[in-house]
Amino acid sequence: MYAQAFLLTGAFFALYNYVGFRLSRDPFNLSQQQIGLIYGTYLAGTFASLSAGCLVGAVGRRPVLLFGTGAIFLGGAVTLASNLWILVCGLVLVTAGFFGAHSVVSGWVGAEVSAGTRASSIYTLAYYGGASLFGWLGGEAYQSYSWPGLVAGVMFLTTIAAIFALALLTGERSAAEIVRQDMQVEAVQEGNDNAVACP
């Protein structure tokens, strides 16, 4: 869980820290005021955070986390486009994916770890550590390999995060499955011989 915070936050800040430089140069040549408007894509993060909670209740945390990670990966690739509106769509994907994934992981930390205060502190450290380290390394990649190099780094980080999620984070039941099982247990405890097992 801490690796998710470290890697995904790093990918997000690496991209957003330097997208302004890309937009100020050819083929976009936007002014600082116009670039500022682009950051309105952050609104997608608000919607994604709210939607993530509903999706977690339906399908579980890990699928939603992987979906968010995939959105960051895909959005990063889309920002390679030389068309402004396509690039903005890429930023929307990255933003929605990050805030959705962040919402899932931060909630997961509190739900799964008994030492809540310590876990929250470690999560915060991983979050800001990733932002600081990869925010800096993203600049090095951009300076050396231009925007495609930075995007390659973002895609690499999200790929590693997805591998960690698949390999290390345990799967879980959806809220509907939990409710059905609880109802079944209650029926058995009450001696209801007609209780039917849920799939």
More confident call, 1 vs 56: 56
Sequence-separated (6 or more) residues with CB below 8 Å from residue 149: 141, 142
What single-letter amino acid sits at 64?
Answer: V
What is the per-residue pLDDT for 180? 42
What is the per-residue pLDDT for 107? 81
Instruction: Give the pTM.
Output: 0.81
90 with 78: CB under 8 angstroms?
Answer: yes
> pLDDT tens across 59-116, in order?
888 999 999 999 999 999 999 999 999 999 999 999 999 999 999 988 877 666 555 5
What is the per-residue pLDDT for 147? 97
> pLDDT tens across 138-152, in order?
999 999 999 999 999
12 with 45: CB under 8 angstroms?
Answer: no
% of the chain at pLDDT higher than 90: 62
User: Domains of the chain, with CATH numbers?
Assistant: 2-168 (1.20.1250.20), 170-199 (no CATH)
> pLDDT tens across 87-102, in order?
999 999 999 999 999 9
7 with 164: CB under 8 angstroms?
Answer: yes
What is the per-residue pLDDT for 1? 78
CA distances from 6 to 31, 54, 113, 147, 173 (A): 32, 24, 18, 22, 26
Q: What single string gives the DSSP state of each residue in 50-116?
A: HHHHHHHHHH-HHHHHHHHHHHHHHHHHHTT-SSHHHHHHHHHHHHHHHHHHHHHHHHHHHHH-SSH
Per-chain mean pLDDT for the chain? 84
What is the per-residue pLDDT for 167? 84
pLDDT at 186 over 50: no
d(CA 186, CA 35): 58
